[in-house]
Amino acid sequence: MRKEFVKGQFYEAERDDLIEQIKECFLHGPGEILGKKEVKKLYGLIAPHAGYVFSGQCQAHAYKKVVNSDEKVFVIIGVNHRGSGNFISIEDWQTPLGKVEVDKDYVRKILDKCDFIKLSNEEHRYEHSIEVQLPFLQYVKKDFKIVPIILSEYSIYKDLAKVLDKGLVIASSDFTHYGFSYSYVPFSSNIKENMYKLDRKAIDYILKLDSEGFLKFVKDNDATICGYAAILTVIEVAKLRGAKKGELLKYYTSGDITNYDTAVGYAGIVFV
């Protein structure tokens, strides 16, 4: 069992406190949890992975779209922040809200079809980018399974997309990481305005399902979008399954909550 690593840091450690925290994210984000029946089919999702006090409201906007989904399998593609490769996990996960089961047959199928994803439970042990998505999923869905994948290489995104032939794919990613602590200071004045503009350029490529344009943007701007490999993959999956566009549900930055000395952008996006 993959135990919680960032409980008490990124989100509340106790079950009741965590439920209350997620409720607050919904109430102060989209304003409600349940609404009228969503009729649009979802082809993919992008959600941030920071501490809930920062990105939780943005996550709530994204996961509200999942409430009425019939999907029972969620392929969550996170970031390997260690940069050690591309890994899939087959062991079940634990959060304060209970056990999350892995679709082990699907994991084996993926491993049989490609040699660019390796099996490693250990590589997932201390990576938070998938873990912080799970309580939100548990809050809005019952009886689901996950397929957890972390990436540090982008070049495989088209091949990986072809292998992911079922389940709703969720890309776990934050957007621009600004500040000296991130070694990324492309501007020093009008920081909020410039961050919004910079991330909006990236988001526009995503909304148009333009993976190649998005990748060029990342390279040209030395972008600090940590999960860009996951984003590239979910764009390709969405296109293969018939998505027409992406929809931006919410964007803001941690600077809007604290200050802009150091700030990270968050976006909730669905593909329809």
pTM confidence score: 0.97
Spans in the chain with pLDDT lower than 50 = none
Give the long-range contacts of residues 236-242, CB within 8 A, separation 24 or more.
Answer: 236/157, 236/158, 236/160, 236/161, 236/211, 237/43, 237/44, 237/161, 237/164, 237/169, 238/43, 238/44, 238/169, 238/209, 238/271, 239/209, 239/211, 240/161, 240/162, 241/43, 241/44, 242/43
pLDDT score of 65? 95
CA distance 212 to 128: 27
Contact 72, 144 (CB under 8 A): yes
pLDDT score of 36? 57
Q: What are phi and psi of 166, to 5 degrees?
A: -155, 165
pLDDT score of 34? 65
pLDDT tens per residue, range 132-146:
999 999 999 999 999
If 0-12 CB within 10 Å is exposed, 13-18 middle and 19+ buried, where does residue 76 land?
A: buried
pLDDT score of 38? 59
Helix H segments across the chain?
15-28, 52-64, 104-113, 128-131, 134-140, 157-163, 191-207, 211-220, 228-241
Structure tokens at 267: 């976006």
> For tokens 């899939």, what's the residue?
88
pLDDT score of 33? 76
Structure tokens at 252: 């803001």
3-state DSSP assignment of residue 123: helix
pLDDT score of 35? 60
CATH assignment of 15-271, among 3.40.50.150, 2.30.38.10, 3.40.1160.10, 3.40.830.10: 3.40.830.10
CA distance 70 to 56: 23
Partners of 248 in the beta sheet? 269
pLDDT score of 32? 81
Going from N- to C-terminal start, the domains of the chain cover 15-271
Partners of 266 in the beta sheet? 252
